[in-house]
Amino acid sequence: MKARTSVTTPTRPARLQETPVPPIPDVSKLEGDIASTEYSRYRTGLSNHRTSLSEHRTSLSEYRTDLSSDRTEMSTQRTDMSFQRTHLSIERTTMSVIRTALSLIGFGFTIFQFFNHLKESQLMIVSSHAPRNFGLALVATGLVLLTMGIVYHARAMLELRRKRSDMGEPALIHDQSVFPVSMALVAALLLWALGVLAIAHMAFGLGPLG
């Protein structure tokens, strides 16, 4: 990761003291050589005046260039932060999917286990497969939602990495560090595996959850 340069405020050039334009000399009563000398001095004064104005314009131009460089640097840093915000937004979306899928899988498995326990303990005669099917449907819905969330997370992160890499080549951003391992994605994969085990137990009586 490249070190970011600190943004310093450029100093505005001091206001130019207004100097009057040299007056046009009156050479109507002067001889030719003397009049030529006066005109030469007048032209020199005008030249000095124009040079002073030109130097001040150059200083202002350099000041505007410095301001433009600072604005570019600040824009680059905002772009860096926008990528981080997008990354965190994808993480939050995945965590929301995990919470919803966990509720569906947990609720469906609980319904299945509750009615299965009643049936085994003969506390209630359960002749219909509706509770089992309903629990399976909830768990399957949770798994489908979780699968879609995992696919969305993977595609969104790949696209985000590609865009950041493309913008890094022309130095539009500074931060080229690798995104950390997504804890939300790891949790989603573990929950997906747990949901598959729950389906295997509920449908076929297989797995360690029995």
Which residues of the chain fall below pLDDT 50? Answer: 1-5
Angle among Cα 9, 12, 16 to the nearest 5 degrees reads 175
Per residue in 167-194, pLDDT tens? Answer: 766 655 666 667 788 999 999 999 999 9
Angle among Cα 32, 35, 39 to the nearest 5 degrees reads 135
pLDDT at 1: 40
pLDDT at 141: 96
pLDDT at 4: 45
b vs e for 36-59, b when ≥16 Cβ sit within 10 Å of the residue's Cβ?
A: eeeeeeeeeeeeeeeeeeeeeeee
Q: Which of 161, 170, 9, 2 is nearest to 74 (CA)?
A: 9
pLDDT at 26: 62
**What's the pTM value of the predicted model, to 2 decimals?**
0.64
Spatial contact of 13 and 61, defined as CB atoms under 8 Å apart = no
Q: Which of 139, 141, 131, 125 is nearest to 111 (CA)?
A: 131
pLDDT at 14: 64
Cβ–Cβ contacts within 10 Å for residue 115, how many? 19
